[in-house]
Amino acid sequence: MTEVTFADYDRFARATGRRLPDDAGWGRGKHPVIDVSWNDARAYAEWLSRETGAVYRLPTEAEWEYAARAGTRTPFWTGDCIHTDEANYNGNYDYNGCGAKTGIYRQQTVAAGSLPANNWGLHEMPGNLWEWTADCWHSSYDNALVDGGPWGEENGGDCSRRVVCGGGWNDRPRDLRSANRGRDTSDEASVGLGFRFARAL
């Protein structure tokens, strides 16, 4: 399982007359889609659900971290360290002296599925792109939902901003930790943001 690719998203955009996102010259096809906002990702999930009869949605922050950890309790699914042959990040920086400084800095995304999957078969959970989640921004876990559901306004979330996870191609290894999180406005679209879907079974 990978981030949503340009091939996936472009079908939706063409079918609905939406703007085709810019690929920054990095390539379309199997490359993860960039230049899409949280609002775009939600619209695609709704369209895909109607087209397929399955239910697709952005994962909650809790689901995203659970999937990224893949049964581990260490900073990364790979253990206490991560390397550029396991994730796409700026390898000019180290993490706790563990050897994450490899000198490899690709300066763009890699094709979805081109780096090793975690223990649960999920590719590029750390690195490559920050990924949108369903949650409204919250600065602490006070009043968190115990069922892992998305954080909303009703429990103090700021829904003009959404939680992003994963770290990206331009980030230091510390930003790729499974528990790391950030935020962006719902209409933000950039070369550092992508997404993946959860599907109801």
- CATH number for the domain including 116? 3.90.1580.10
% of the chain residues with pLDDT over 90: 88
Q: Examine the pLDDT at 195 and tell me if it is beyond 70.
A: yes
CB 108 within 8 A of CB 26: yes
Average pLDDT over residues 67-94: 97
Report pLDDT for 139: 80
DSSP SS3 for 80: coil
Residue 32 falls within a domain, yes or no?
yes
The model's pLDDT over 2-61, given as tens digits with 9 standing for 90+, comes to 999 999 999 999 999 999 999 999 999 999 999 999 999 999 999 999 999 999 999 999
74 touches 148 (CB < 8 A):
no
What pLDDT was estimated at residue 201?
A: 82
What confidence score (pLDDT) does residue 200 get?
Answer: 87
Return the pLDDT at 140: 73
Structure confidence at residue 112 (pLDDT): 98
Look at residue 186 and tell me if it is in a domain: yes
Number of domains in the chain: 1
Mean of the per-residue pLDDT values of the chain: 94
pLDDT of residue 85: 97
- pLDDT for 105-155, tens place per residue? 999 999 999 999 999 999 999 999 999 999 999 887 666 666 666 766 667
Selection from 6, 185, 179, 186 nearest residue 109 by Cα: 6
Can you read off the two tokens belonging to residue 145?
């939902």
pLDDT, mean of residues 185-200 = 96
1 is a domain residue: no
Structure tokens at 146: 């115990």
Instruction: For residue 112, give its domain range.
Output: 6-199
Residue 29 lies in a domain: yes
Residue 181 lies in a domain: yes
Stretch 179-191: mean pLDDT, rounded?
A: 95
Q: Is residue 39 part of a domain?
A: yes
Any domain includes 121: yes
Q: Once rounded to an integer, what is the mean pLDDT over residues 187-196?
A: 96
Which tens digits make up the pLDDT trace of 89-110? 999 999 999 999 999 999 999 9
Q: If you write DSSP's letter for every residue of 29-70 in order, what string do you get?
A: TTSBP-S--HHHHHHHHHHHHHHHSS-EEPPPHHHHHHHHHT
